[in-house]
């Protein structure tokens, strides 16, 4: 009977195409659509803040250089991972990550909670030549980050596009994006205070690459690495509540 | 080749080239000061190049009407050559990135030459460049033979093939300049993605138009797989690449989805790129070239049906097994795990169907390296689908995920299955296409076979070892209840395996170079003899006895 049915189906090209679309469409629909509608999928974290323009620029450089190919940003709910890297990652922590950078491979360690773990100077030295600080490391050198000036003139457009996909940047944040990027790496400049107003007093404001006068790609990348895992305390609060 | 186009077709080719050049110009102007502008220049030159090529032959006489009684194979021939070219390029980059993990300073102090930028050149180069061109080339061949219908026109197949390669060039050059969405296996940015949609829809329509002209009432099983490949890849590509560019003058965009929804969409795409690009498409190849080369009908029609619909239905649920123990809700992980395990049934039905087809032809497998490529491909398909189902089990995944085991698994499939079935099919196809009785050197096919097999085995064993050691070191506790190894100790332990992997990959690359040389010499041999001489075993003429392969019963 089944064979008879299939013999008819395979004589009809359009019918066959429709059957493929129908049969292949079910799985993805059932698994993906509810993730947008079930509220518990993403936890609530009222203290969650957005990336500053400098951190976002750093994140874009992280993407550009393909860092996600070797570093995950997703601590799994396994004892050894929690003890090695910190509280396991919550969905809310990457709520503003367009796209997410959870990664799929750890040639190097997970860096979901890297922020604050090392000094800026360590990161700068490590990015220029990883083997200067970790002799057995196989990580590539990123010397050009220190040589390249950061492109800031289009950061407003970046923030506007982020808002278009759902990140709550305000008009003031978009309007001041370039100045805020400069201010975050120049603590003594007049732009630094506006940044703290818009993104919170806890925002890191310092010369990340050690050179206050110049805004380099290194400033952006280190600013990004230092905020990893620190946009919200939700994961630490949950771990504390669980009695750890 | 351009002389075989009719004058009307030459005109549409000119119009299309001008259109591409025009878009290149717009990109160049809108994206000046951005990498988009550089890509605009590449597109412009691409369009102008083809414009010049067609113009140079514009005044040739009309091709004879007699062409309509034969299949149209020129795009297949070019596709074969492109596929082998990309194979060498893609695998070279693969060996380079492999070597960088053992000798990290084996590169220049420049962004374009760093690991993170050349790695996607490797993955896209082999998957889309090598695999994709082979799929397009063989699909045109198989489609015509199994429907006994000529492609409906002579421009559309060129548009698909050349347009697709323009996409590949934009993708690869973009990575070197740092243009990437960071979505694995979907790295190209919004404008390249839009272009691929145009090319892909044209490809689908071409397939459908040819099917509607078929003189065989039934659609042969190979075409089911090619159709599923084209259709589902289109859906996956469009959904996973939804993004908002920061402006029409910039290459940069932000994906529409974020966080957990983006992760699920990405791995729904990622795993089904494996399913419908690297499995369904190549199963289409297997279902035509293996029985043809063995001279045996497919073992079981019923198994073909079960495995086709099983794969089409179940693969789409399996993507979430990439996200075990993550912030993805548990119910989705469990669904993914369950379907991944059950997926073994249709996968092994396909592998078994292929191997059982060889019953009665095992002497040929022994003597003919081309058929042996296909046999080994079916074996590796069976092995890596078993391994895949195994690794999708949550407890196993807790060890294997994030380690080199995943890399080993991917390469068992990519080298052992995808590349082997491709090389086998191309070795069968090349003498038919260039109308010679055999490939230039069967001995070199034999050499390639052993290079490819030993390379694959060294690679996969190295990665199994490194992956499992890595996974165990990360979770080992000492007597005082603390973690026994620092992360860097696990990196140091990987070094011998990274060297072994580089050796395995080099052998495989060497094999691909041998294949490219062998095919090149076959083409030269055919040219020297003159193409009028008939040889080859492929059915050359449309009307006549139904020599096209029937679904076997």
Query: What's the rounded mean pLDDT across residues A161-167?
Result: 97
ipTM of the complex: 0.96
Query: Among residues of chain B, what percentage have pLDDT more than 70?
Result: 96
Asked if the structure places residue A152 within a domain, the reply is: yes
Among chain B residues, the shortest Cα distance to A65 is held by: B116
Residue A3 has pLDDT above 80, yes or no: no
Q: Is residue A48 part of a domain?
A: no
Residue A227 counted as domain residue: yes
Question: A65 and A175: one domain?
Answer: yes
Q: Give the span between the Cα atoms of B338 and B97, in whole angstroms.
A: 35
Instruction: Report the alpha-carbon distance of residue A231 to residue A227 in Å, rounded.
Output: 7
CA distance B207 to B211: 6
pLDDT of residue B552: 36
Query: Is residue A127 domain-shared with residue A194, that is, in the same domain?
Result: yes
pLDDT digits (tens, 9 = 90+) for B280-295: 999 999 999 999 999 9
Instruction: Please indicate if any CB of chain B lies within 8 Å of the CB of A42.
Output: yes
CB proximity B104 to A under 8 Å: yes
Q: Of B264, B501, B489, B266, nearest to A137 (Cα)?
A: B489
A203-223 pLDDT, tens digit each: 999 999 999 889 999 999 999
Average pLDDT, chain B: 95
pLDDT-derived band at B106 (thresholds 50, 70, 90) equals: very high
Tokens 């299949």, residue located: B71
Q: Is B247 helix (H, G, I), strand (E, B) or coil?
A: coil
With an 8 Å Cβ cutoff, are A65 and B114 in contact? yes
B327 touching chain A per CB within 8 A: yes
A169 and A211 together in one domain: yes
**B362 Cβ neighbours under 8 A, 6+ residues apart:** none
At residue B549, the pLDDT reads 38
pTM of the predicted model, to two decimals? 0.96
Q: Is B302 on the interface with A (CB under 8 A)?
A: yes
Residues A132, A18 share a domain? no
Domain that holds residue A36: 2-41
- The chain B residue lying nearest A167, using CA atoms, is B258
Q: Is residue A201 part of a domain?
A: yes
Residue A30 touches chain B, beta carbons under 8 Å:
yes
Residues 91-130 of A with CB under 8 A from B: 91-110, 130
Predicted pLDDT of residue A13: 94
Tokens of residue B526, six digits: 């055919």
Four-point Cα dihedral B172, B274, B232, B342, nearest 10: -170
- Specify which residues A149 forms β-bridges with: A216
- Residue contact A100–B262, C-beta within 8 A: yes
Q: Do B488 and A137 touch (CB under 8 A)?
A: yes
Residue A98 belongs to a domain: yes
Contact between A74 and B327 using a beta-carbon 8 Å cutoff: yes
Chain B nearest-CA residue for A43: B327
**Which pLDDT value is given to residue B533?**
47
Instruction: Give the mean pLDDT of chain A.
Output: 95
Q: What is the mean pLDDT of residues B382-395?
A: 97
Q: How far is CA B99 from CA A128, B47, B102, B103, B409, in A?
A: 20, 37, 5, 6, 19
Reduce the secondary structure of B373-430 to three states and give it as a string: HHHHHHHHHHHHHHHHHHHCCHHHHHHHCECHHHHHHHHHHHHHHHHHHHHHHHHHHH
Which pLDDT score, from 0 to 100, does residue B534 have?
47
- For residue A94, the chain B residues in CB contact (below 8 A) are 258-260, 263, 327
What is the C-alpha end-to-end distance of chain A, expressed in Å?
61
Q: Which of A35, A38, A71 to mutate to test the interface with B (most CBs of B within 10 A)?
A: A35
Check whether residue A14 and residue A109 sit in a common domain: no
Q: Which of A31, A166, A167 sits opposite B335 (nearest CB)?
A: A31
User: CB distance from A48 to chain B under 8 Å?
Assistant: no
A154/B403 Cβ within 8 A:
no
Q: What is the mean pLDDT of residues B332-357?
A: 97
Assess B280–A contact: CB distance below 8 Å, yes or no.
no
**Which tens digits make up the pLDDT trace of B481-539?**
999 999 999 999 999 999 999 999 999 999 999 999 999 999 999 999 875 544 444 55
Sign of the dihedral defined by the CA atoms of residues B198, B160, B127, B41, in that order: negative
pLDDT value at residue A29: 94
pLDDT in tens, B39-88: 999 999 999 999 999 999 999 999 999 999 999 999 999 999 999 999 99
Q: Please, which pLDDT band fits residue A1 given cuts at 50, 70 and 90?
A: low
Residue B450, pLDDT score: 98
How far is B506 from B109, CA to CA, in rounded Å?
24
Nearest CA-CA partner of B66 in B155, B139, B150: B150
Structure confidence by residue, pLDDT tens digits, B423-456: 999 999 999 999 999 999 999 999 999 999 999 9
**Residue A137: CB atoms within 10 Å:** 17
Question: Based on the domain organization, do A61 and A22 belong to the same domain?
Answer: no
CB of A207 closer than 8 Å to CB of A222: no
Asked if residue A47 belongs to a domain, the reply is: no
Across B476-483, average pLDDT: 96
DSSP state of B27: H
A31: Cα separation from own chain's centroid: 23
Mutate to test the interface with B, among A4, A21, A28 (most CBs of B within 10 A): A28
pLDDT of B546 over the 90 cut: no
Q: What's the rounded mean pLDDT across residues A70-96?
A: 97
Contact with chain B for residue A28, Cβ under 8 A: yes
Is the Cβ pair B244, A165 closer than 8 Å? yes
Residues A175 and A60 in one domain: yes
Are the C-beta atoms of B150 and B72 separated by less than 8 Å?
yes
Nearest CA in chain B to A148: B111
What is residue B530's predicted lDDT score, i.e. its pLDDT? 74
Among A1, A5, A138, the residue to mutate for chain B (most B Cβ within 10 A): A138
A193 lies within 8 A of chain B by CB? no
Cβ contact A154–B181 (<8 Å): no
Closest C-alpha to B7, from B55, B51, B49: B55
Asked if the structure places residue A23 within a domain, the reply is yes
A126 and A233 both lie in a single domain: yes
Could you tell me if B354 and B289 are in contact, meaning their C-beta atoms sit under 8 angstroms apart?
Answer: no
10 Å CB burial of residue B164 (0-12, 13-18, 19+) is buried
Residue B336 at interface with chain A, using a CB cutoff of 8 Å: yes
* Residue of chain B minimizing CA distance to A100: B259
| Count of domains forming chain A | 2
Please tell me whether residues A198 and A168 are part of one structural domain: yes
Residue pairs spanning A and B at CB distance below 8 A: 264
Q: Name the token pair of A155.
A: 């950061």
pLDDT in tens, B176-233: 999 999 999 999 999 999 999 999 999 999 999 999 999 999 999 999 999 999 999 9
- DSSP per residue over A166-217, as a string? T----HHHHHTHHHHHHHHT-TTSTHHHHHHHHH-TTS--S-TTS-TT--BH
User: Is the CB of residue B293 less than 8 Å from the CB of residue B428?
Assistant: yes
A46 lies in some domain: no
CA angle in degrees (0–180, nearest 5) for B430-B431-B435:
120
Does A74 lie in the same domain as A29? no
Same domain, A7 and A125: no
**pLDDT at position A244, please?**
55
Residues A66 and A109 in one domain: yes
- Amino acid B337: pLDDT: 98
CATH of the domain at A168: 1.10.760.10
């Amino acid at each position: 009977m089944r064979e008879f049915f299939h013999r008819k189906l395979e004589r009809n090209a359009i019918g066959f195409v429709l059957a493929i679309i129908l049969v292949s469409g079910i799985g993805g629909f059932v698994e993906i659509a509810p993730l947008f509608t079930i509220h518990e999928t993403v936890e609530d974290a009222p203290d969650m803040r957005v990336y500053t323009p400098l951190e976002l620029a750093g994140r874009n450089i992280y993407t550009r250089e393909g860092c996600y190919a070797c570093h995950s940003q997703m601590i799994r709910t396994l004892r050894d991972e929690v003890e090695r890297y910190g509280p396991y990652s919550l969905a809310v922590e990457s709520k503003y990550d367009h796209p997410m950078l959870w990664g799929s491979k750890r040639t190097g360690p997970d860096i979901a909670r890297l922020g604050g773990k090392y000094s800026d100077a360590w990161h700068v030295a490590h990015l220029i030549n990883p083997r200067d600080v970790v002799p057995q490391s196989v990580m590539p050198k990123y010397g050009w980050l220190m040589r390249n000036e950061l492109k800031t003139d289009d950061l407003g457009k970046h923030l506007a596009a982020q808002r278009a996909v759902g990140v709550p940047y305000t008009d003031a944040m978009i309007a001041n994006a370039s100045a805020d990027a400069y201010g975050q790496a120049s603590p003594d400049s007049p732009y630094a205070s506006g940044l703290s107003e818009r993104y919170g007093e806890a925002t890191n404001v310092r010369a990340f690459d050690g050179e206050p006068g110049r805004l380099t790609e290194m400033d952006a990348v280190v600013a990004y690495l230092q905020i990893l895992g620190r946009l919200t305390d939700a994961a630490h609060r949950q771990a504390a509540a669980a009695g750890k | 080749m351009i002389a075989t186009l009719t004058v009307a077709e030459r005109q549409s080719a000119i119009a299309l080239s001008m259109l591409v050049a025009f878009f290149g110009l717009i990109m160049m102007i809108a994206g000046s000061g951005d990498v988009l502008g550089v890509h605009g220049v590449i597109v412009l030159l691409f369009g102008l190049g083809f414009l010049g090529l067609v113009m140079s032959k514009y005044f040739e006489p009309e091709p004879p009407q007699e062409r309509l009684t034969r299949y149209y194979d020129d795009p297949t021939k070019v596709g074969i050559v492109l596929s082998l070219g990309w194979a060498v390029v893609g695998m070279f980059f693969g060996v380079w990135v492999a070597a960088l993990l053992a000798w990290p300073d084996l590169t220049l102090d420049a962004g374009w030459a760093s690991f993170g930028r050349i790695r996607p050149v490797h993955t896209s180069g082999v998957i889309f460049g090598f695999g994709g061109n082979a799929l397009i080339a063989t699909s045109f061949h198989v489609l015509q033979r199994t429907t006994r219908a000529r492609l409906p026109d002579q421009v559309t197949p060129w548009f698909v093939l050349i347009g697709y390669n323009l996409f590949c060039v934009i993708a690869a050059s973009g990575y070197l300049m740092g243009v990437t969405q960071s979505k694995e296996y979907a790295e190209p940015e919004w404008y390249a993605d839009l272009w691929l949609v145009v090319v892909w829809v044209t490809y689908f329509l071409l397939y459908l138009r040819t099917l509607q002209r078929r003189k065989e009432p039934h659609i042969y099983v190979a075409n089911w797989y090619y159709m599923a490949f084209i259709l589902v890849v289109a859906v996956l590509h469009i959904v996973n690449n939804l993004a908002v560019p920061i402006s029409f003058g910039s290459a940069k965009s932000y994906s529409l989805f974020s966080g957990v929804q983006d992760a699920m969409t990405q791995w729904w795409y990622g795993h089904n790129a494996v399913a419908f690009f690297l499995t369904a498409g190549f199963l289409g190849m297997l279902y035509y070239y293996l029985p043809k080369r063995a001279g045996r009908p497919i073992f079981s029609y019923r198994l073909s049906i079960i495995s086709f619909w099983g794969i089409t239905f179940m693969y789409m649920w399996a993507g979430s097994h990439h996200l075990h123990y993550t912030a993805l809700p548990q119910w989705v992980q469990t669904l993914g795990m369950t379907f991944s395990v059950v997926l073994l049934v249709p996968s092994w039905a396909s592998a078994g169907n292929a191997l059982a087809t060889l019953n009665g032809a095992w002497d040929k497998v022994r003597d003919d390296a081309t058929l042996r490529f296909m046999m080994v491909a079916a074996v590796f398909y069976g092995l890596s689908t078993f391994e895949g189902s195994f690794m999708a089990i949550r407890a196993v995944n807790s060890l294997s995920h994030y380690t080199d085991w995943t890399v080993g698994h991917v390469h068992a499939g990519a080298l052992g299955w995808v590349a082997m079935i491709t090389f086998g099919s191309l070795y069968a196809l090349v003498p038919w296409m260039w109308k010679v009785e055999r490939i230039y050197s069967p001995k070199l096919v034999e050499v390639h076979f052993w290079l490819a097999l030993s390379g694959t085995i060294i690679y996969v064993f190295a990665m199994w070892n490194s992956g499992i050691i890595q996974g165990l070191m990360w979770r080992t506790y000492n007597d005082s209840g603390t973690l026994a190894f620092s992360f860097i100790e696990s990196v140091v332990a990987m070094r011998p395996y990274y060297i072994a992997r580089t050796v395995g990959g080099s052998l495989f690359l060497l094999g691909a170079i041998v294949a490219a040389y062998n095919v090149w010499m076959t083409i030269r041999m055919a040219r020297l003899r003159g193409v009028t001489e008939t040889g080859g075993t492929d059915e050359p003429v449309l009307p006549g006895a139904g020599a096209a392969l029937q679904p076997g019963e």
